[in-house]
Structure 1
Amino acid sequence: MSDDNKESNCFNDGLLHITVLVISLFSLGLGVIDLRLTDSFTLVIMPYIPALFLSAFIFLSGKIYWIGNRQSKISSKIILLLIYPLVVKLALASGENIDLLLNVGPALLFKELGSMGTIIIGLPIALLLGFKRESIGMTSSICREPQLAILTDKYSFDSDEVRGFFIVYLISTVLGTLFISLLTNVLAFLIPLHPYSYALASGIGSTSMSVAAVSSLSAIYPALTDELLAFNAISNLISIVFSIYVYIFISLPLTEKLYNRFEHYFN
């Protein structure tokens, strides 16, 4: 049997799909886990985090004999199929909420330009560490789902750019929530801005990190919990929608241009 036939048969691999189903049901059964580490610091673990680690453990351990390199390759193709509904959802959401972008104040819109820091600071560091095209996916954004959809559509799921994206995506899934929770706590104590300002600022376009940040704020200002959640939610929605346009027209082209301009200096 040819390799192509073997790979196509993996679409009918019942054990693979059952394994994925069990992992998904287990992770969804755990739900959102709130770990209150201190009175003012809550670590929020979303269901996909245990799913990621459990899947990686099963593959790397080799204990499950029916999960191997062949299943890994075909799973990447299945993921590609599953990403396109996300692309459609994001397109509909961005179009549906275009009036929202036109009506909000400039501060909420310009805060999205803060993502330029990932390019200006991150790209030189990635090149110094020896990354090539992966650095485009790693540093052109905060590496969340909207950017994944755009990268996959432009470069394909098997590209170096998407591999670089997932390096940051997986690390920030765990460390990002810790970092933004700690940062929110520290800034709230050191810089006496209104809690609403921090709630708006923490809506960065990542649900898990935004929830982690606003949970820390709610622990500090329990009387304002409902208002903080509301401001954070609308800010996060605006960031998700506006980040799509910023990423397509500014961030990704700028990262690619800077990479082509400076990459040869780091060889």
Structure 2
Amino acid sequence: MEPTELWKDWKLHIAMFVCAVVAQKIGIINIPIGPVSLMLMPLIYAMVFGLALYLIKPIKFISTKQSEESSPLLMLAVMFLCVKMGVTMIPGLASIMSASAILVIQNIGNLGTIFLALPVAILLGCKREAVGLSFALSREPGIAIITDKYGAKSKEFQGVMACYIVGTIFGPVFFGMIPGLFVDFGWFSPEATAMAVGCGSTAMMTSGLTVLIAKFPELESQLTGFAMISNVISGLLAFYLSLFLALPITEKCYALLTRRKAVKAEKGEK
């Protein structure tokens, strides 16, 4: 099926429309957990409904081919979302500009994926895939770097793509739950949390931002601005940070950890 013919696929469009309407009708669900509350947003329901229509065999409304060829429509929808957010953030530009240095410095935290995820990946039995899995947040710049350096048939590429796919599917669900809890516990301010959710993909950012706006509607323009500027800056800096700093560090850490693991295994055999 050609991409232009996708517009004529009425079954797919009706299924997605029904998922969106039902998700909106359910609305926001607040689940109290002690002193905090877990907020479930319509975006999460819509993703779950769509996944069910794709996976459940007896009533499988969406085929693999349809899923793959729907990507251009997703990008079109994201364009409208970005325009809406851009208009919303204008009133909060002054406060955003005052925090510009912090927005840049926070990207150093991306290196945390190396020290947190790499040891776990190796313990779970990953080999060279661990490098692709853990050297960055596995957004598009990371995929480009791994493809150029190791090739599209490498173990490193399998690792980065696995992380990208899992993040695309489950990332918005995670972002739709955790940021609100951080704010409720008082660990971070709403503005700092908005900056943090901006480091993820557009879908992840939208999910986390929706929760924050629901909790602090009076700060909508500021929170939207912090999240969007953070997303843009993270996208620009992630490439150079990953290429010149994160990937070399990951390679050295991988060599060190696997060497120690080999030594321990050798001692155990003896």
Q: TM-score with structure 1 length normalisation?
A: 0.65
Secondary structure class of the residue paired with 1:218:
helix
Can you list the C-alpha shifts for 1:225-247, whole angstroms capped at 9, x where unaligned?
23321221111101111111111
**Any conservation in 2 of the 1:43–1:178 contact (CA below 8 Å)?**
no
Letter in 1 for 2:236: V
Q: Does structure 1 residue 38 correspond to structure 2 residue 29?
A: yes
Is residue 49–residue 173 contact of structure 1 (8 Å, CA) maintained in 2? no
Aligned to 2:141: 146
Q: Do the aligned residues in 1 keep the contact of 2:113 with 2:136 (CA within 8 Å)?
A: yes
Change (3 A) 1:264 1:111: same
Aligned letter for 1:264?
Answer: R
| Identity score, percent | 29
Cα-to-partner distance string for 1:15-56 (whole Å, 9 max, x where unaligned): xx6499749x748x94895664515432536x9999999889
The equivalences for 1:224-243 within 5 A come to 224-243=219-238
SS at match of 2:43: strand
Distance, in Å, in 1 between the alignment partners of 2:183 and 2:4 is 41
Give per-residue Cα distances to partners, 1:48-102, cap 9 Å, x unaligned.
99999988999xx9xx9xx9xxxxxxx9xxxxxxxxxxxxxxxxxxxxxxxxxxx
SS at match of 2:41: strand
Aligned 8 A contact 1:127 1:266 in 2? no
TM-score by length of 2: 0.65
| Secondary structure, counterpart of 2:198 in structure 1 | coil
Indicate how the Cα distance of structure 1 residues 163 and 190 shifts in structure 2: closer, same or farther if over 3 A, else same: same
Q: Could you tell me how far apart the structure 1 residues matched to 2:52 and 2:147 are?
A: 23
1:202/1:213 contact within 8 Å kept: yes
Q: How far 1:211 sits from its partner (Å)?
A: 0.9
Say whether the 8 Å CA contact 2:16–2:50 is kept in structure 1: no
Distance 1:182 1:48, change over 3 A: closer
Once residues 248 and 50 of structure 1 are traced to their aligned partners in structure 2, the CA distance between those partners, rounded to angstroms, is 38
Distance 1:108 1:156 in 2: 32
Deviation at 1:184, TM superposition (A): 0.8
Partner of residue 107, structure 1:
102
Query: Structure 1: which 5+ runs fail to align?
Result: 1-16, 68-74, 76-102
Partner SS state of residue 242, structure 2: helix
- Cα separation, 2, equivalents of 1:192 and 1:257: 33
Q: Aligned ranges for residues 100-179 of structure 1 at < 5 Å?
A: 105-179=100-174
Across the aligned residues of Structure 1 and Structure 2, the Cα RMSD in angstroms comes to: 3.9
Structure 2: gaps (5+ residues) = 31-38, 69-97, 263-270
Label 1:158 to 1:211 Cα distance change in 2 as closer, same or farther (>3 A).
Answer: same
Contact 2:118 2:131 in 1 (8 A): yes
Residues 44 and 250 of structure 1: CA distance in aligned 2, closer, same or farther (over 3 Å): farther
Q: Residue type of the partner of 1:203? A: G
* Greater alpha carbon shift after TM alignment, 122-131 vs 255-264: 255-264
Aligned counterpart for 1:201 among listed residues 183, 191, 196: 196
Report what 2:86 is aligned to.
none
Equivalences, count: 212
Q: Is the 8 A contact 1:43 1:212 kept in 2?
A: no
Structure-1 residue corresponding to 2:218: 223
CA deviation after TM superposition for structure 1 residue 262, in Å = 2.1
Distance 2:106 2:121 in 1: 24
Match of 1:183 among 167, 178, 181: 178
Distance 1:49 1:150, change over 3 A: farther
Return closer, same or farther for 1:22/1:234 CA change in 2, 3 Å cut-off. Answer: same
1:258 is aligned with what amino acid? C
> Hey, what's the Cα distance between the residues in 2 that align with 1:166 and 1:238?
22
Letter in 2 for 1:42: M
